Amino acid sequence: MNRLRLLAAFLAAGVAAQLCWAQDSGVTLIQDATILTVTKGTIEHGSILIKDGKIARVGKDIKAPSGATVIDAKGMYVMPGIIDCHSHIAVEGDVNEGSLAVSSMVGVGDVLNPEDIDIYRDLAGGVTVAHVLHGSANPIGGQNQLIKLRWGKSASELKFEGAPLSIKFALGENPKRSNFRPPPGFPQRYPESRMGVMDVIRQAFVDAREYKKTWDEYNRRVAAGEKNVIPPRRDLKLDPLVEVLEGKRWVHAHCYRADEMVQLILLAEEFGFHIHTLQHVLEGYRVADEIAAHGVGASTFSDWWAYKVEAYEAIPYNAAIMAKRGVIVSINSDDANEARHLNQEAAKTMKYGGLTEDEALRLVTINPAIQLGVEKRVGSIEQGKDADLVIFNHHPLSVYAVAQKVFIDGHLYFDRDKDLAQRAENAKERKALMEKEKKASEAEKKPGEGKAGAEKKPGAPAGKEEKPKEPTKPPQLDQVATGALD
Amino acid sequence: MQRAKQFDGKFVIAGLAALAMFAGFALASPAGAQEKPKAKPPAAGKTYAIRGLKITTLAGPVIEKGNIVMRDGRIVAVGADTPIPADAQVLDGAGLEAYPGMFDAVDQIGLEEIGAVAATVDARELGEFNPQLQAATAVHPASEHIPVTRAAGITEVMTAPASGFGGGGSVILGQASVINLDGWTLEQMLVRRSVAMVVNWPNFNTRTFDLATFSFKEKSFADAKKEYDKKVQELSDFFEQARHYQLAAAKGSAQNYTRDLKLEAMIPVLKGELPLLVLAERAREIRGAVEFCEKQKVKMILGSGGDSLKVADLLKSKNIPVILGPTMQLSQNEDDPYDKYFTLPSDLQKAGVRFAIASFDLQFVRRLPQQAGNAVAYGLSHDDGLKAVTLYPAQILGLDKDLGTLEAGKIANIMITNGDPLELRTEVKYLYINGRPVSTDNKHKSLYEKYSKRP
């Protein structure tokens, strides 16, 4: 079985390996497209010149330099690569270290799986950057990792270089585990109320402050030239929280109910740190003014609701209300499937709340870039920015738009035509590998256990036996509890 | 307080039992499939008309500018020159477009309110075989999901008992009911009480998730097959039992056998009057289900059917239609094409297999037009995209005399939009359900209005 799974992964990886580096002269001109720059309006019949992974020029009459790859995008639309502010793709195993109420010592960046097929699938939906978060099982969760969907590259090459560090917090039903009874063998865990959740966070920052003091004192003495000063004992749980206090690590807090959002913002101010985004923030519309006043970002769903009590008052107008009251808002996926049509999810805000096309597009481009601290690099089509671009065959805010080509750092990482062209060959290769696998396993079985081997395939024509479906990932604790992988 | 509650409980249970018995009788008579839709508009005798708008009837060419007249819940006339009766309450449709309301062919509307709160979930039962259960007996007419869903243009749904976590749970889930998304009581909402018997086809799986230990368990192919075969055999045995019961019921008098509501509920299925809606995903399981239904001589509709393209020839040759799940979903197989579910409707269309698209959901029923829109994005014609969520479900479920198009004689379920109903930004401006104007207001809209006005 394991060998079959490996085989599947190998095949999937094969699709992309062929795609990535085919078209790499370093200089590419996309011409005659409708360019949705997001920050600088729309250019009809416009061109984008890509050089060394960056957008070199955007405009109307750009001539192709010699040697450039020219992509005729007549009738097509180009938008900045979609940025998913809340994702759980590319993670090996569980996204939750749920055994502790504070799990700040662990990080998603340590367990990236570059072969997760969901990277390719989301890429094919136009996503170029994903904020891969730790789960929401703890008031203070693990460290998150911002990635670019450089399918085919190694785990470390996925990482968005230079992005601010980040960490997950979580409030409400998930950290207090309302919808989840520990399975046999799993112990009960404090907290189980919203009071307890706030207490855990407050205590952690009291500890972090004390810890920081010991280091500050140590550093002061060393700087003053004192010799033989013994450094304080390192605490891997508190180190990231000190980074939060110092503004070096950004906080992204899972929350649903309006009151808990305000509680957290006030707590953060009490300790002198900042909440960068409220994630999910489904009741954000109730306290949009408070969120805006404190300069906190909000990253929400388009139209999810009613899967748990704290989502029962969720409304699809949430993003629009918050945006109109001055909050920087993004729409995220929290789900590998949802990520494939974030452009569509953003479009819904035009119907639910009357946002304009540009405002809707911002929700999945420049706004999440701002929320993640990478707006100088990505999120709009501007000269000097990373060439992370998606070519759609229709306006991306239409349900009929299908991503045709996706560039990251100027490289073509997804090409629908090539994907389609590749399929027959992949099927052939798959069949051949299956037969090889079958022969190998039959040979393995022969000494001694011939019967069991024969019993396996009664009359199934060679190479046609299908692999019984299996979930590619174990369901997460949260998923069981709430139907959503927060 | 506790005592009062218990008393209430008993009362409710007795009431349910009475309903269940009624259901049993209804089914024992050949009425199951032929039962007349009980369209009883509260304002009986009222005539409504919509004037001067583009009408996509889905039963003929688009009428660029026409009128629709409805009376007593039904459409009376549709056409370019349809006269408007003097007593009609008229809506001016200038600049708007009329379409048949959308029909979500499988979901859990009314059976569930908040997924995580067991007290609000009535979509699942204990036990392997529950053909006697009927969705209609537990539909909550005041569910907030109803106005939220219809505001997206969905006017009727088939609400169905659901399988358990990860496709587990009962094998025969019970009977699905078609309801209009408007009514003070279930009886006013009901289109047909029993439309399909839902079967959760056994999984053929070498890797299963064990909730008790919260981990995956691997088993050999031989073991998985043994388990699967055993489950199919048990289902076979149950059908056999039902057949004996049917025989006894037909020949014997009431004294000769003990009445059994489970087996009694199977009789319309065995008579071929009530189709089986078989939920199966993988090719091997679909083939197994087709073989089973053929052997049992029962009508089959395939539900979900992710791998239906692999068995398209079989489905076509047996004339088995498919109610597909969402187009926006991921394949469980890593090496399937990334767009497998997006292209599936168009692929089946080309292969000559009849299909509809359904949500199989609760909170996302309102995404039905988006699901169809994505199918159009990936190759389905726009006309088929619309029909996949209107006419085709009506045809597959045997309700096309009453639903699915804008034609005289059909139930007047109409959505009036300001554009293409499959597009994301299109708004549903007005709704008629069962021949009455119905508000598009809902919990979400009123919260929006309330908090937009926050000073």
- To the nearest whole Å, the CA of A335 is away from the closest chain B CA by 10
pLDDT-derived band of residue A260, with 50, 70 and 90 as boundaries? Answer: very high
The three-state secondary structure class of B152 is coil
Nearest to A482 by CA among A311, A336, A302: A311
pLDDT tens for B194-237 read 999 999 999 998 887 776 676 788 899 999 999 999 999 999 99
Q: Dihedral (C-alpha) A268, A270, A273, A276: value to the nearest 10 degrees?
A: 30
| B29 in Cβ contact with B268 (< 8 Å) | no
- Whether A318 contacts A300, CB under 8 Å: yes
Spatial CA neighbour of B103 closest among B400, B316, B418: B400
CB-CB neighbours of B442 under 10 Å: 20
Tell me whether A68 touches chain B (CB under 8 Å). no
| Distance separating alpha carbons of residues A267 and A427, to the nearest angstrom | 56
Helix (H) / strand (E) element for A57: namely: strand A54-59
Write out chain A residues lying below 8 Å of B373, CB-based: 399-400
CB of A366 within 8 A of CB of A40? no
Residue A180 is predicted with a pLDDT of 78
**Cβ contact, residue pair B366, A482, below 8 Å:** no
Contacts of A402 in chain B (CB under 8 A): 377-378
DSSP states along B300-344: EEEEE-TTGGGGHHHHHHTT--EEE--SS---SSTTS-TTHHHHH
Interval B243-258 mean pLDDT: 83
pLDDT (tens digit per residue) in A103-118: 999 999 999 999 999 9
Q: Would you call the peptide bond into A191 cis, given omega within 30 degrees of 0 as the criterion?
A: yes
Residues whose CB falls within 8 Å of the CB of residue B186, separated by 6 or more in sequence, listed in order: B136, B139, B141, B179
Please report, rounded to a whole number, the percentage of residues in chain B having pLDDT higher than 70: 88
CA A43 to centroid of chain Cα atoms = 29
Higher pLDDT residue, A483 or A21? A21
Q: How far, in whole angstroms, is CA A5 from its chain's centroid?
A: 24
SS3 content of chain A, % helix, strand, coil (to 5): 40, 20, 40
Question: What CA–CA distances, in Å, run from A147 to A434, A478, B90, B231, B404?
Answer: 33, 23, 57, 45, 46
Please list the residues that pair with B411 across neighbouring strands.
B74
- By CA distance, what is A353's nearest residue in B? B448
Q: Is residue B66 helix, strand or coil? A: strand
pTM score of the predicted model = 0.89
d(CA B82, CA B91): 14
CA–CA dist B118, A394 (Å, integer): 43
B282 and A481 within 8 Å at the Cβ level: the answer is no
Q: Supply the pLDDT for residue A178.
A: 86
Bridge-based pairing state of the strands A27-36 and A77-80? parallel
CA distance B450 to chain A (A): 9
Report pLDDT digits (tens) over B120-143.
999 999 999 999 999 999 999 999
Q: Which residue of B has its CA nearest to A400?
A: B377
> What span, in angstroms and rounded, lies between the C-alpha atoms of B122 and B160?
10
A273-297: average pLDDT: 98
- Name the band, by pLDDT with cuts 50, 70 and 90, for residue B26: very low
- Give the burial string for B19-40 (b: 16+ CB within 10 Å, else e): ebeebbeebbeeebbebebebe
Q: Return all residues near B304 (Cβ < 8 A) that are at least 6 apart.
A: B279, B280, B281, B323, B324, B325, B360
Please indicate whether, in this complex, the C-beta atoms of B423 and A398 are within 8 angstroms of each other. Answer: yes
Separation in Å, CA A53 to CA A56, A122, A160: 9, 21, 14
Chain-centroid distance, C-alpha B162: 11
Residue B426 has pLDDT above 80, yes or no: yes
- Residue A91 and residue A118: Cα distance in Å, rounded? 10
Average pLDDT, chain B: 90
Nearest to A466 among B283, B328, B339 (CB): B283
- What six digits make up the tokens of B208? 């299963």
pLDDT at A444: 80
Three-state secondary structure string covering B408-426: CCCECCEEEECCCCCCCCC
The tokens describing B293, both together, are: 């239904």
- Where would I find the H helices in A272-328? 288-293, 318-324
Q: Which two tokens stand for residue A193?
A: 């109320």
Closest to A116 in 3D by CA, of A132, A104, A102? A132
Q: What is the pLDDT of residues B337-363, one digit of tens each?
A: 999 999 999 999 999 999 999 999 999
Side chain identity at residue A206, one-letter code? V
List the single residue in B211, B335, B369 with the smallest CB-CB distance to A430: B335
Task: Tell me the chain B residues in contact with residue A469 when contact means C-beta distances shorter than 8 Å.
Answer: 205, 281-282, 332-333
Q: Do B103 and B131 touch, CB atoms closer than 8 A?
A: no
Residue A424 near chain B (CB below 8 Å): no
Q: What contacts B265, CB < 8 A, 6 or more positions away? A: B23, B24, B27, B131, B132, B175, B197
From chain A, pick out residues whose CB is under 8 angstroms from the CB of B313: none
pLDDT of B45 higher than 70? no
pLDDT at A480: 37
Take residue B39 and report the two structure tokens written for it: 């369209």
pLDDT band at B251 (very low <50, low <70, confident <90, very high): confident
At A448 the pLDDT is 54
pLDDT in tens, A121-151: 999 999 999 999 999 999 999 999 999 999 9
Question: Between residues 97 and 116 of chain A, which touch chain B (CB distance below 8 Å)?
Answer: none
Nearest to A372 by CA among A53, A36, A87: A87
Q: Which of A338, A351, A399 sits opposite B374 (nearest CB)?
A: A399
What's the rounded mean pLDDT across residues A193-211? 98
Which tokens is A27 given? 């200089």
As given in the structure block, the two tokens for residue B89 are 């309450």
Q: In this structure, which amino acid lies at residue A268?
A: A
Q: Is it the case that residue A187 has pLDDT exceeding 90?
A: no
pLDDT in tens, B370-386: 999 999 999 999 999 99
From the CB of residue A460, how many other CB atoms can be counted at a distance below 10 Å? 12
pLDDT reading at A347 higher than 90 = yes
Rounded-to-10 torsion of CA B219, A336, A393, A148 = -110
A-chain residues within 8 Å CB-CB of B202?
none
For residue B38 the two structure tokens come to 């009980």
Integer distance in angstroms from the first to the last C-alpha of chain B? 42
CA neighbours within 13 Å on the CB side: how many for A424? 2
- Rg, Å, chain B Cα set: 23
Nearest CB to A183 within list B214, B284, B373: B214
B8 pLDDT above the threshold of 70: no
Give residue B254's pLDDT.
63
Q: How far apart are CA B158 and CA B39, in angstroms?
A: 16
Dist CA B332 CA A172 (whole Å): 31
Instruction: From chain A, pick out residues whose CB is under 8 angstroms from the CB of B111.
Output: none
Q: What percent of chain B has pLDDT over 90?
A: 82
A178 and B116 in contact by Cβ < 8 A? Answer: yes
Helix (H, G, I), strand (E, B) or coil at B236: helix
Write the Ramachandran bin of A168: left for phi over 0, alpha for psi from -120 to 50, otherwise beta: beta
Helix (H) or strand (E) segment spanning residue A195? helix A194-223
CA A124 and chain centroid, separation: 14
pLDDT digit string, tens, across residues A371-411: 999 999 999 999 999 999 999 999 999 999 999 999 999 99
Q: Is the pLDDT reported for residue B404 higher than 80? A: yes
Residue B68 scores a pLDDT above 90: yes
Backbone angles phi, psi at B394, to 5 degrees: -60, -45
**Which of A174, A243, A41 lies closest to A476, judged by CA?**
A174
- Specify the DSSP element, H or E, that contains B188: helix B186-189
- Range of lowest pLDDT (A166-180, A367-381, B405-419): A166-180
In B, which residues are within 8 Å of A121 by CB distance? 330, 338
Token pair of B290 as six digits: 């087709």
Q: Nearest-CA residue of chain B relative to A458?
A: B222
- Of B198, B31, B221, B39, the residue nearest B108 (C-alpha): B198
Per-residue pLDDT tens over the stretch A82-100: 999 999 999 999 999 999 9
Model confidence at A461: pLDDT above 50:
no
